[in-house]
Amino acid sequence: MTSAIRFEGVTKTFGDYEAVKELDLEIQKGEFFSLLGPSGCGKTTTLRMVAGFELPTTGHIHLEGEPVEAVPPYKRNVNTVFQSYALFEHLSVADNVAFGLKRRKVAKEEIRTRVGEALELVELAGREKAKPAELSGGQKQRVALARALVNHPAVLLLDEPLGALDLKLRKQMQVELKGIQREVGITFLYVTHDQEEALAMSDRIAVMEEGEIRQCGSPEEIYEKPAGPFVAGFIGVSNLLPGENGGQISVRPEKIWLGSLEPGMSSLQGTVVERVYVGTTTQVIVELDSGVRLVALEQNTASARADDRWEIGERVTLGWHPEHARELQ
Amino acid sequence: MSAFDRPRFLRVFVAVFFVFLFAPIALVILFSFNSSRSLQQFDGFSMRWYETFFESESLRDSLIASIEIALVTMLIATVLGTMLAYGLVRARTRWSDTANVLMLVPLVTPEIVAGASALLLFTQVGLELSLTTIIVAHITFSISYVTVVVRARLAALGRQVEDASMDLGATRWQTFRLVTLPALWPAIIAAGLLCFALSFDDFVLSFFTTGESPQPLPVRIWTEIRFGVRPTINAIGSFMLVISILSIGLALLLPRLLGRRESGLKVLLGREAA
């Protein structure tokens, strides 16, 4: 595999504020790569440096092996999908999508074909003549996507593209985006603060905090083997317990057994203090004798009976398989 | 609940307000068609005062001068004001806030002060008072109006649209021409016509900065009145009113005629397009 983007000791400061610190990262061609972190973690700044809107204070960025510090945004072979769509309101859908091709003086006939294909890809064929103001939020984001993809960039940069959509549409677009990425085979660099979104779509995720990458790996690695307390807390729900040698132990709620345990599991005693029904599961909150509170999940499956469940105040034995406990430093 | 809470009272209040606002204007228009010299009594319809107005060479010259001043002011102030707005919104320096406040100063400066200082400046520099000096003075205060209107529009447009344009391969200049300017047009046109209307009926600044001849129409009217009010004034006044209403009307309508969804009123009030 060859690299699409390579960051080499990239630092970006705004005045006294260090937005990105000594970033080293390599993103492979054809990857769906997500930068995940809370707002202010430096993920958007990193994306904007790839696009060329910001320049690294120190360090180098290579696009397909070539250094790009000296290349202005309009000459970089990358395109961006913005959270606010950033469509050109005075142009039709077709003219919005054709904008990039026209700047590169692509022949008229080819422009028409490619614009048609791009709109087909995002399922907006037939809306060529519509103005952005006539479209819904989801449709606008599809136009923004088509407008970027039609140029066949080396890397597509997506800056929280689904952030403005409602939950249901967002879930649907996640599946579609992943499908489109697989179909066109373009490298996607995806910025989001939504951990579920990143887990659902990415080949690899870099979790960022305070301008630094805390962990980089596949969704499974990030979720199952969080590298530190920040990643464990930011991705999903984690139970943190004091460990043996001063560190912490993290156990995911769905890995905790209640009641009957298997041999070889670690085992603790506690009291049920709260039940929170959330649909497919019920969160059972248990206070250990040491005072630490843990969350465990009870599946609301067809076989689960209403009279057979953990009630508040009940004493309970809980435990987990040792391989599901992760020691953090 | 007292009677004052009721919408009926408010409706009457609004009606009275409009009567007080428009009745004097309506009277001027009515008496501009009076067949006699009387300013108290309407004696029948006639166009004689309009004829007197257009037959007087000096009045005609004044009208043409006023239109010329307003047109040149409009063009130059619109270009300069748009550039200023662009700089104020897009420049990222620690002086931006200061500059954004300072540019409002011409809007709140008493016109007497602006006029006197302009006169002082022109005399110091040794510039002879003429149409040019009036135009320079008018441009100075008009720029602020353009900037306020265009700046609001530009701020509402946001930076990401320009980023998107450059991201898609447009240079800075192409971005301005193909993306920024088309988005700003309604605001620019509205602001330009507003400048035209303001310049066309400005008296104080013009009075301070005008040369001997030709004088702009408002100054000319004032000169006339000093020798007694004649019914011609009503005709000139009505005619000026028509031109002012036309330019403001155009400012409100043109954005719509250009195929934009938002009205010029929204643009002038600085409201964001939906």
In chain B, whose CA is at the least distance from the CA of A84? B160
Q: pLDDT tens for residues A272-287?
A: 999 888 888 888 999 9
pLDDT value at position B274? Answer: 34
Residue at which a domain ends, from A229, A263, A288: A229
pTM of the model: 0.78
Q: What share of chain A is helix, strand, coil (3-state, %, to 5)?
A: 30, 35, 35
Average pLDDT, chain A: 90
Selected residue with higher pLDDT from B272 and A7: A7
Which residue is associated with the tokens 């700003």?
B184
Interchain pair A74, B171: CB under 8 A: yes
> Which residues on chain A are in Cβ contact (under 8 Å) with B154?
none
Q: What is the CATH number of the domain that holds A184?
A: 3.40.50.300
Q: What is the CATH number of the domain that holds A259?
A: 2.40.50.100
Q: Are residues A67 and A143 in the same domain?
A: yes
For residue A29, pLDDT over 60 is answered with yes
- Of the pLDDT bands very low, low, confident and very high (cuts 50, 70, 90), residue B261 is low
The owner of tokens 């300017």 is: B181
Note whether A157 and A119 are same-domain residues: yes
At A134-153, the pLDDT tens digits run 999 889 999 999 999 999 99
CATH number of residue B106's parent domain: 1.10.3720.10
Q: Cβ contacts (< 8 Å) between B168 and chain A: which residues?
A: 74, 79, 99-100, 103, 147-148, 151
Choose the closest CB to A100 out of B169, B261, B274: B169
Beta strands in A108-197 (DSSP E): 155-159, 187-192
Query: Is the minimum CB–CB distance between A105 and chain B shorter than 8 Å?
Result: no
Q: How many CB pairs under 8 A join A and B?
A: 67
Chain A residues near residue B174 by CB distance under 8 angstroms: 103
Better pLDDT: A258 or B270: A258
pLDDT tier for residue A44 given thresholds of 50, 70 and 90: very high
Supply the pLDDT for residue B56.
87
Same-domain status, A13 and A161: yes
How many domains, in total, are found in chain A? 2
Asked whether residue B27 is assigned to any structural domain, the reply reads no
Same domain, A79 and A143: yes
How many angstroms separate the CA atoms of A188 and A202, rounded? 9
**Chain B residues lying within 8 Å of A87, measured CB to CB:** 161, 164
Are residues A219 and A182 part of one domain?
yes
Whether B160 is in a domain gets the answer yes
In a domain, B45, yes or no: no
The answer on pLDDT for B272 being more than 50 is: no
Task: Identify whether B221 is part of a domain.
Answer: yes
Taking residues A172-178, what's their average pLDDT? Answer: 90
Q: Are A73 and B166 a contacting pair at CB < 8 A?
A: yes
Q: Check pLDDT > 70 for residue A179.
A: yes
Angle at A39 between CA A33 and CA A45, to 5 degrees: 60
Nearest to residue A82, comparing CAs of A16, A152, A163? Answer: A163
Determine the structural domain holding residue B105 and report its residue range. Answer: 56-268
Q: Is residue B114 part of a domain?
A: yes
B23 within a domain of the structure (yes/no)? no
Is residue B258 within 8 angstroms of chain A, CB to CB?
no
Residue A150 DSSP SS3: coil
Interface test with A, best of B167, B175, B258 (most A CBs within 10 A): B167
What average pLDDT does range A191-215 have in this prediction?
93
Q: What are the distances in angstroms from CA B48 to CA A198, A237, B31, B59, B221?
A: 81, 89, 11, 15, 18
CB hemisphere CA count around A133 (13 angstroms): 9
Q: How confident is the model at residue A313 (pLDDT cuts 50, 70, 90)?
A: confident
Instruction: Tell whether A141 lies on the interface with B, counting CB pairs under 8 A.
Output: no
pLDDT at site A192? 94
Between CA A42 and CA A35 the distance in angstroms is 9
Instruction: Report pLDDT for A199.
Output: 92
Tell me, yes or no, whether A207 and A85 share the same domain: yes
Q: For an interface test with A, which of B168, B258, B267 has the most A Cβ atoms less than 10 Å from its Cβ?
A: B168
Same domain, A35 and A181: yes
- Same domain assignment for residues A13 and A67: yes
> Is B139 within 8 Å of B79 (Cβ atoms)?
no
Look at chain B and report how many structural domains it folds into: 1
Q: Has residue B150 been placed in a domain?
A: yes
Select from A74, A78, A49, A43 the least CA-distant residue to A64.
A78
Residues A204 and A281 in one domain: no
Contact A159, A80 (CB under 8 A): yes
Asked if residue A194 has pLDDT above 50, the reply is yes
Which of the listed residues A229, A250, A271 is the one where a domain comes to its end?
A229
Q: DSSP 3-state assignment of B83?
A: helix
Nearest-CA neighbor of A185 among A208, A203, A198, A172?
Answer: A203
Residue A298 banded pLDDT, cuts 50, 70, 90: confident
Q: Is the pLDDT of residue B273 over 50?
A: no
Check pLDDT > 70 for residue B270.
Answer: no
Alpha-carbon distance B269 to nearest alpha carbon in chain A (angstroms): 20
**CB-based contact (8 Å) between A17 and chain B?**
no
pLDDT score of B35: 87
Note the ipTM here. Answer: 0.81
Nearest residue to A193 via CA among A18, A85, A35: A35
pLDDT per residue as tens digits for the range B116-153:
999 999 999 988 888 999 999 999 989 999 999 999 99
Sequence-distant (6+) residues with CB within 8 A of A199 are A205, A219, A222, A223, A235
C-alpha–C-alpha distance, residues B14 and B249, integer Å:
22
**One domain for residues A285 and A182:** no
Residue B61, pLDDT above cutoff 50: yes
Does pLDDT of A77 surpass 80? yes
In whole angstroms, give the CA distance from residue B131 to residue B59: 15
**Could you tell me the pLDDT band of residue A119, with boundaries at 50, 70 and 90?**
very high
Residues A224 and A96 in one domain: yes
Share of chain B above pLDDT 70, in %: 91
SS3 A295: strand
pLDDT in tens, B16-52: 999 999 999 999 899 889 888 887 888 888 888 899 8
Q: Of A19, A73, A236, A186, which is closest to residue B165 (Cα–Cα)?
A: A73
Query: What's the domain range around A285?
Result: 238-328
Report pLDDT for A110. 95
Residue at which a domain ends, from A229, A260, A288: A229
Assess whether A321 and A185 both reside in one domain: no
